[in-house]
Amino acid sequence: MTGISWRHVALWAVFIIFMLLLPEMVSKGTLRTVIFANFLAIFAISWDVISGRTGYISFGHPFLIGIGAYTTAILSYRFGMPVGLSIPLAVCVTMVAGTLFFLPALRVKGSYFALVTLAFMELMYQLVQVIRPDLTGGTRGMSGVTTLARGAVNNYYLSFGLMIVIAVSMWVLMKTRFGTALSAIGMNEESVRGSGLSTTRLKLFAFMVSAMVAGLGGAFYVHYLGSIAPRALFDINFVFTIIVAVLIGGASTIVGPMLGAFFLTFLLEYLRPYLPGAERYFIYGSIALVIYMYQPKGLYEIVMQQWRKYRVVKAGET
């Protein structure tokens, strides 16, 4: 909620340079894990814009991601539309469909919002299986969807490029008074209204931004995987992964969801040999709880605290 300083810019630059050099430093296997982390970061940032800031918890983000993914997959795979056209179209469709469906949801409060969004996700899961399975691929989904890049390194650069463009633009957007207003809604919506602002309009706009990012992420994700599997996409575990990434990283920030996404992806990756099945999802709850007990504001705040401590020590030395 403070302005942008040269130190911020420098930190972003250092991070970007490090990530650009990453393929030189790590194995292809690790790089594939980072690709997933990049996509999870995109979804987490999207979720945070509406839910992390305003406190309206969405359980339906796979609905948005799914619209983006299905639209571009169907347009390009079934109708031979070039990806350069189908992806922007998919993003537009996500924003429009998301707005239409969520408009009623925005008028309800708290847990009702969560329920309504969850219902949309479930509805979408049922719909893609029943309506026009010749287009959606029904229960099995689709495979053979055009991929945009070949090999781990290229796909890594593509996913990182997308993630960093989204992260930095969202970071700049959230530094404006618009971001402040969204956070204010999360703290006390009545007072925001009492300050003369239409919170309905603010939430709707935040939702459209969130849908845009989710649509972008979903579209690129399907072109990375080359396939779409409704059961994995419209899965409550997928929603939890996104939410837990934001919460352990630090809601209402941009760096937090990124941190959380990377932390969670690598944690699950390293746990895979020991906990192969769904048990590893139990780990989510425990980790989220431990971090929450230590610092409710998440990893981002833990890092910031250490940094402030370090600054104080440094200042004491000189």
Partner 1 sequence: MAEVSRRKSRRDLNVSHHLEVNNLVKMFGGLIATNEMSFQVDEGESLGLIGPNGAGKTTIFSLIMGELRQTSGSITCFDSEISHLQTHERIQRGISRTYQVPRPFADMNVLENIRVGLMPDNIWQMIMRRPDPEREIELAQSVGFAENDFLRHPSELSIGDLRKLELARTLATDPSLMLLDEVFAGLTVAEIAQMAELINQKREAGMTMIIVSHDLKSLEPLIDRAIAMNYGAIVAEGSFADVMADEQVRATYLGDE
The answer to whether 40 and 265 are in contact (CB under 8 A) is yes
Residues 6+ apart with CB under 8 A from 193: 199
Query: Which candidate, 286, 284, 174, places its Cα nearest to that of 238?
Result: 284
Q: Residue 181 interacts with partner 1 (CB under 8 A)?
A: yes
Stretch of 45-53, 149-157, 194-202, 228-236 contacting partner 1, by CB under 8 A: 194-202
Token pair 């939430």 in the structure block, residue = 203
Contact set for partner 1, span 156-175 (CB under 8 A): 173
Give bridge partners of residue 143 from the DSSP assignment: 227
Cβ 110 vs Cβ 186: under 8 Å:
no
- Does 198 engage in binding with partner 1 (CB under 8 A)? yes
C-alpha distances out from residue 47 to 57, 103, 128, 139, 254, Å: 9, 17, 23, 26, 11
Minimum CB distance to partner 1, residue 206 (Å): 9
Nearer to partner 1, 54 or 76 (CB): 54
Closer by beta carbon to partner 1, 175 or else 280: 175
Question: Does residue 314 touch partner 1 according to CB under 8 A?
Answer: no
Determine, following the binding rule CB under 8 A, whether residue 193 of this chain makes contact with partner 1: yes
Question: Please, which residue, 62 or 179, has the CB nearer to partner 1?
Answer: 179
Per-residue mark of binding to partner 1, 199-238 (x: CB under 8 A): x-xx--x---------------------------------
Contact call for residue 176 and partner 1 (CB under 8 A): yes
Chain Cα centroid distance, residue 144: 25
* Count of residues near partner 1 by CB under 8 A: 24
Residue from 51, 183, 253, 265 binding partner 1 (CB under 8 A): 183
Q: What is the DSSP string of 115-175?
A: HHHHHHHHHHHHHHHHS-HHHH-GGG-EE-PPPS--HHHHHHHHHHHHHHHHHHHHHHHHH
Decide if residue 177 touches partner 1 (CB under 8 A): yes
d(CA 274, CA 80): 43
Q: How far is the CB of 55 from partner 1 (least distance, A)?
A: 12
Q: Which helix (H) or strand (E) holds 68?
A: helix 61-73
Q: Which of 190, 278, 313, 316 binds partner 1 (CB under 8 A)?
A: 190
Of 145 and 251, CB closest to partner 1: 251
User: Which residues here bind partner 1, judged by CB under 8 A?
Assistant: 1, 173, 176-178, 180-181, 183-184, 187-188, 190-199, 201-202, 205
